[in-house]
Amino acid sequence: MKIVYHKRFEKQFKKLVGKEKNKIIKALEIFVENPFDVRLNNHRLKGNLASKSAISAAPDLRLIFEEHSGYILVIFLNLGKHNRVYK
């Protein structure tokens, strides 16, 4: 699996504080091992984001991504609190 981080994702990651950064890093480590690990709640999105998926790094912290060719390429696009990341 090749993982690419969009500039927006990197910018948002830099703004996070220690605990949130650690949760993102842990979620990404789990994702690399098994993208469908139940702790991540990997799910397809609907509406305007129907071509994308999301995983949870914490109860209110989401990572939005696109997967290509059966998870050979994953592009992380966005991250943030549940109420803001889906807008």
- Which residues fall within 8 angstroms of residue 23, CB to CB, at 6 or more apart? 57, 58, 61
Whole-angstrom Cα distance, residue 38 to residue 69?
22
Residues 23 and 58 sit within 8 Å (Cβ to Cβ) = yes
- Cα–Cα nearest to 74, from 46, 56, 54: 54
Q: Pick the residue with more confidence: 87 or 24?
A: 24
Residue with tokens 């969009």: 6
Domain spans, the chain: 2-85
Q: Does the 2-85 domain belong in CATH 3.30.465.10?
A: no
Convert the pLDDT of each residue in 33-85 to its tens digit: 999 999 999 999 998 889 999 999 999 899 999 999 999 999 999 998 877 77
Burial class (CB in 10 A: 0-12, 13-18, 19+), 20: middle
> How much is the pLDDT for 32?
96
